[in-house]
Structure 1
Amino acid sequence: MATQLKVALIQADLVWENPAENRENFSKTIDQISEDVDLIVLPEMFTSGFTMHPESVSETMDGETMQWLKKLAKEKNSAITGSLVIRENDNFFNRSVFVEPSGTIISYDKKHTFTLAGEHKIYKAGTKKVIIDYKGWKICPMVCYDLRFPVWARNTQDYDLLLYVANWPKPRINAWDALLKARAIENMSYCIGVNRVGLDGNDHEYSGHSACYNVLGNRIDATPFEKEGVDIVTLEKSHINKYREKLQFLNDRDDFSLKV
């Protein structure tokens, strides 16, 4: 069990609906990470941007992007995660994938599809919350709009890291900042959010604000707010244990179940 988890947050501009070019750009960025990390985090729909045209960018779980992720994870000896458009059984999913160096893949389908953009009409929503056990760290992956729904993220599994990947637009970035911090505090876990920057094919602007908060809601990263960049943060199990034992807030959490 690792007492530390070193995580690279990659805040990037995305080439609209061009998986090959996005893979090439991320390969260059990841190659420049000079230190060893345990986990590399890419944004939501990192191969395409937040598109409502899945037929032009969708792949299977054996497609080029998944093969690329497995190769990269092995080469870097680091897990890699982010979401992309997956086609499966005549349905499209906004699927978060977590690819380990061993080749193991764990996936989570976005539960809350973004109705304002019509995502619910095009993508099939997920129904299962996922907890990943990686190097002794329990990680809960979520995608973008999921951030607005605290019940779905409720820490009933004693996870250590709540992880959001997103294409969260600039006009509502204050909500992103506030809710990431709130999710860390209320769940007494680290909370990481990785967002994109730049303009997409619909002229929506994204301002990044990728961040990592500790269990007290203190930001511990130095990611530039509105620029492309990579920041590396070190998470400490001792920090989680210290404040959960001292404050014991999770002992008072509500006991309820969800209907999905």
Structure 2
Amino acid sequence: MEPLKITTFQAYLFWENTEKNLSNLALRLSSLRTSTDLIILPEMFNTGFTMNVEKCSEEVGGPTMRWMLEQATKFNCVVTGSLIIQEDGLYYNRLIWMRPDGTYDQYDKHHLFSLAEEEKIFTAGDKNITIELKGWRIRPLICYDLRFPAWSRNQEPYYDILLYIASWPDSRIEHWQKLIPARAIENLSFVIAVNRVGYDGNEIYHSGGSMCLSPTGEVIYYKPESEDLYTFTIYPKDLINARERYPFLEDADPFTLGRRRSLLDKNR
């Protein structure tokens, strides 16, 4: 495991305008003057968090994934973020983990946001993934997943970094600010959470608040309100020292995730 340089991009997004978003993001990324291992973009970074799948979805290997590969190649790093993917007649809010050699991993958002009726349009993913980068084991998740600690739980295969990309609104930003430290502390993991800023097409305001927390909950990076492109480094010794000092993961109860049941199910 080596020190890991991470670039978070708390971006302003143009509503349902992939071409403009990709052009603006590329322009901003061109200002990077340091090497990095990982560039993290928000949820649905090419369109904003929209349910308009007819206009905004792409097939695998479409323009946005090609753009991600261009950026990964240019900066010789991994680029990650989510977009709407249409596959076999279904729609997914899919995180792509694009490497500079063109290989990629993917994670489909598991918890679909019912307040926006996301579950009526998208198909939920049914499995977590754990990805290795420079010896670090990384678990990527998407926005609403943050509210569900069982899905984020650090059990086999264990991870070192819990990563959330989001379009989290300012109206519930206090929840964001409380849940992220909880996930870091309970999982003895670095947590990196990248949000967007600005109003979307539904006049919902996003105030950012992207952050990185240590495995013991200390704030390494935090940025409210404004667009921000920021690079920082995390170190293995901080993870190792935290887990040696607080070996709480060894005492955790094993469990198996099962089918979610609604309150209506339980009352029948």
Bin the TM-score by the shorter chain.
over 0.9
The within-5 A match list for 1:118-133 is 118-133=117-132
User: Normalising to structure 2: TM-score of the pair?
Assistant: 0.95
Q: Residues 144 and 168 of structure 1 are in contact (CA less than 8 Å); yes or no, is this contact kept in structure 2?
A: yes
- Cα distance in 1, alignment partners of residues 61 and 11 from structure 2: 25
- 1:172-195: per-residue Cα shift (whole Å, max 9, x none)? 000001111111110001001100
The answer for the alignment partner of 2:241 in structure 1 is 242
- Cα distance in 2, alignment partners of residues 16 and 54 from structure 1: 13
2:231 maps to 1:232: yes
Q: Residues 3 and 238 of structure 1 are in contact (CA less than 8 Å); yes or no, is this contact kept in structure 2?
A: no
The within-5 A match list for 1:130-149 is 130-149=129-148
SS of 1:202 mapped into structure 2 = coil
The answer for the alignment partner of 2:61 in structure 1 is 62
Q: Residues 97 and 106 of structure 2 are in contact (CA less than 8 Å); yes or no, is this contact kept in structure 1?
A: yes
Q: Residues 59 and 87 of structure 1 are in contact (CA less than 8 Å); yes or no, is this contact kept in structure 2?
A: yes
The answer for the alignment partner of 2:164 in structure 1 is 164
* Unaligned runs of at least 5 residues, structure 2: 260-268
SS of 1:138 mapped into structure 2 = strand
SS of 2:221 mapped into structure 1 = coil
The within-5 A match list for 1:1-260 is 2-156=1-155, 157-223=157-223, 225-260=224-259
The CA deviation at 1:158 is 2.1
Q: Residues 221 and 232 of structure 1 are in contact (CA less than 8 Å); yes or no, is this contact kept in structure 2?
A: no
- 1:78-113: per-residue Cα shift (whole Å, max 9, x none)? 101011111100001000111112211000000000
- Cα distance in 2, alignment partners of residues 9 and 150 from structure 1: 23
Residue-pair matches, total: 258
Q: Residues 17 and 57 of structure 1 are in contact (CA less than 8 Å); yes or no, is this contact kept in structure 2?
A: yes
- Cα distance in 1, alignment partners of residues 242 and 219 from structure 2: 16
The CA deviation at 1:31 is 0.8
Q: Residues 210 and 222 of structure 2 are in contact (CA less than 8 Å); yes or no, is this contact kept in structure 1?
A: no
- Cα distance in 1, alignment partners of residues 70 and 93 from structure 2: 22
Q: Residues 184 and 213 of structure 1 are in contact (CA less than 8 Å); yes or no, is this contact kept in structure 2?
A: yes
Quick one: which amino acid aligns to residue 258 of structure 1? L
- Cα distance in 1, alignment partners of residues 34 and 45 from structure 2: 23
The CA deviation at 1:222 is 4.5
* Unaligned runs of at least 5 residues, structure 1: none
- Cα distance in 2, alignment partners of residues 251 and 112 from structure 1: 27
- Cα distance in 2, alignment partners of residues 67 and 12 from structure 1: 20
SS of 1:220 mapped into structure 2 = strand
